[in-house]
């Protein structure tokens, strides 16, 4: 079994958050990953993923650092993405809903996608809602019933 960690908030995909069609790129990559997983010679368990598309959330770069200065994101991106979910625009919330579902579609793809864990169940001090499974579930981003959820990847 392969333990895969699937993040689109570090490295090359990080800059997509600052592009006009960035959310589309994250969705495409999320669905494309299903091809890799279903074609794997071994079972693939995704042991870590999140809904973050930037490295703007506190605590990501080696613990608590003051002041926090993300490595790969601009101040403008962090100002937009490092907010409170209750203040997010509806299109941003809808993106997060679809992005979660697309990742699950891929992590469970074919005979080889055998499961997943989101990192993390609960974050400290609501430091980043895109990392907080319970918060996202309680606020309607993650479906209440994951067994009969909508599928967004073909």
Q: How confident is the prediction along the chain (154 residues), in pLDDT tens digits per residue?
A: 999 999 999 888 999 999 999 999 999 999 999 999 999 999 999 999 999 999 888 777 666 666 677 878 888 898 888 878 888 999 999 999 999 999 999 999 999 999 999 998 988 776 788 999 999 999 999 999 999 999 999 8
Q: pLDDT at position 66, please? A: 66
Residue written as token pair 């997010």: 88
Query: HSE of 69 in the Cβ direction (CA atoms, 13 Å)?
Result: 2
Residue ranges of alpha helices (H) inside 55-121 are 75-81, 90-107
Please report the beta strands in the chain, taking only residues with DSSP state E, as ranges in sequence order: 2-6, 44-49, 113-116
Q: pLDDT at position 65, please? A: 63
Residues paired with 116 in a beta bridge: 46
Q: pLDDT at position 94, please? A: 98
Q: pLDDT at position 47, please? A: 95
pTM recorded for the entire structure: 0.94
Per-residue tokens: 135: 């918060």
Q: pLDDT at position 54, please? A: 92
């Amino acid at each position: 079994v392969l333990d895969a960690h699937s993040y689109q908030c570090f490295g090359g995909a990080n800059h997509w958050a600052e592009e006009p069609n960035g959310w589309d790129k994250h969705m495409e990559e999320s669905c494309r990953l299903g091809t890799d997983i279903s074609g794997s010679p071994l079972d693939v368990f995704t042991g870590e993923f999140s809904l973050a598309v930037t490295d703007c959330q506190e605590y990501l770069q080696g613990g608590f650092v003051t002041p926090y200065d993300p490595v790969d994101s601009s101040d403008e991106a962090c100002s937009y993405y490092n907010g409170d979910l209750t203040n997010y625009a509806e299109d941003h919330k809808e993106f997060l809903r679809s992005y979660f579902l697309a990742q699950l579609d891929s992590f469970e793809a074919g005979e080889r996608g055998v499961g997943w864990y989101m990192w993390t169940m609960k974050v400290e001090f609501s430091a980043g809602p895109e990392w907080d499974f319970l918060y996202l579930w309680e606020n309607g981003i993650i479906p209440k019933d994951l067994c009969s959820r909508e599928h967004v990847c073909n």
